[in-house]
Structure 1
Amino acid sequence: MNGLPDYLDRNLKIIFVGYNPGERSALLGHHFAGRGNQFWRLLHDAGLTKRLYQPEEDDQLLADGYGLTNLVVRPSKSSSDLSAEEMRAGAAELRQRVEQYQPMVVCFLGKEVYRKYAGLTPRVVVEYGLVKTATVFPAMKEFVAPNPSGRSTIPYREKLAVFCQLRKLLEMPTL
């Protein structure tokens, strides 16, 4: 099973970073295509997109100023199937992509995705929302949002509140 293409460009408003493609997303060839995945609905309900996109329209997010990538390219049933080495290598490659494309905001879809990217130990507390001091590239904003997977135990309304914070961050004149 192949990974998914990155949808990246320079000067994007946000690059959304997932852990890795799920098996269904990889099979269908589109980001966040798993049954129950709430990514597309969260974007729309938070006001980040004017309409509700479908997974097969993932390449069209670039026109809205949003990019898509993953920490690890290899699809799996669960992120727990990924090795520590895959995550270390994926984090290094992700930092290169972020430096190359320089978005205004890098949005990590899950606390663990951010921990791996930033090289933080599991003991370091990571909160949802804007990271107060960017750990990798200080000129870019780092934002942590809940994983939109349908398997996540976080209630939808709590996920939506964080995605609304992300929209408000984009609306700030100092961004």
Structure 2
Amino acid sequence: MTTPHRPTADEMAAAHGTTIPDVAGPGLRVLFCGINPGLWSGATGWHFARPGNRFWPALHRSGFTPRQLHPSEQGELAAYGLGITNVVARATARADELTADEYREGGAALTERVTRLRPQALAVLGIGAYRAAFGRPRAQVGPQDAAVGNTAVWVLPNPSGLNAHYSLDAIAAEFRRLRSTVEAAGVSEG
């Protein structure tokens, strides 16, 4: 495991507008899709890196991983058939800094990425991001009626610590519903 790094204020400021590589490849069980990297992630290069983000605990509590991974261990996700990408690639302090055009362009780029990588499921983490990127204003959390090719699309709650609408247990429960569905489809891990 990489030694955890707490970015300095200067490193965080310098991370604005940067991008971090996807953790993805062909044949994944689930490709998780964040809204966009925060500055903490931009500074460290790790997805969902900010302390207080509930992605990694929810991933473990839902049974996707046998233990809670640290963001610096994101490279281990492939062994579990999991990956991470974002709707919009550029790091910002807040998601409200993103424009409607960025969401639409990000949705088109995400569709291309999913078509190329062909994961069993795409899980967009944030209902607002999904609605904006895919032009589906009435979408709700859970499985969606629209697929990307043969890839099922799910919307899961945003795991940001700022999302007060969902507790960690409620987020993990939604992740668990997705995992159960993926497993029921008969795709084996890793």
Q: Structure 2 length normalisation: TM-score?
A: 0.84
Matching residue of 1:170: 182
Per-residue deviation, 1:173: 3.5
Which residue of the other structure, out of 130, 149, 154, is the alignment partner of 1:143? 154
Partners of 2:45 and 2:185 lie apart in 1 by 36
Q: Which amino acid in 2 is paired with 1:77?
A: A
Structure 1 unaligned blocks of 5 or more: none
Aligned length: 170
Residue 102 of structure 2 corresponds to residue 86 of structure 1: yes
Matching residue of 1:51: 67
Which residue of the other structure, out of 21, 30, 54, is the alignment partner of 1:38? 54
SS in 1 for 2:90: coil
Structure 2 unaligned blocks of 5 or more: 1-14
SS in 2 for 1:59: helix
RMSD (Å), alpha carbons? 1.4
Q: Check whether the contact 2:100–2:132 (CA below 8 A) recurs between aligned residues.
A: no
Partners of 2:37 and 2:114 lie apart in 1 by 18
Shifted more, 86-95 versus 25-34: the winner is 86-95
Which residue of the other structure, out of 162, 171, 176, is the alignment partner of 1:159? 171
Partners of 2:114 and 2:95 lie apart in 1 by 21
Partners of 1:127 and 1:157 lie apart in 2 by 19
Q: Check whether the contact 1:118–1:135 (CA below 8 A) recurs between aligned residues.
A: no
Residue 33 of structure 2 corresponds to residue 17 of structure 1: yes
4+ residue stretches of structure 1 with deviation over 3 A? none
Matching residue of 1:128: 141
Partners of 1:38 and 1:21 lie apart in 2 by 14
Identical residues among aligned pairs (%): 36
Partners of 1:164 and 1:8 lie apart in 2 by 21
Q: Check whether the contact 2:115–2:148 (CA below 8 A) recurs between aligned residues.
A: no
Partners of 1:8 and 1:114 lie apart in 2 by 19
Shifted more, 164-173 versus 91-100: the winner is 164-173
Deviations 1:31-63 (A, max 9, x none): 000120010100101111111110001122112
Per-residue deviation, 1:4: 1.0
Matching residue of 1:8: 24
1:70-85 pair list within 5 angstroms: 70-85=86-101
Matching residue of 1:106: 122
Q: Check whether the contact 1:48–1:167 (CA below 8 A) recurs between aligned residues.
A: yes
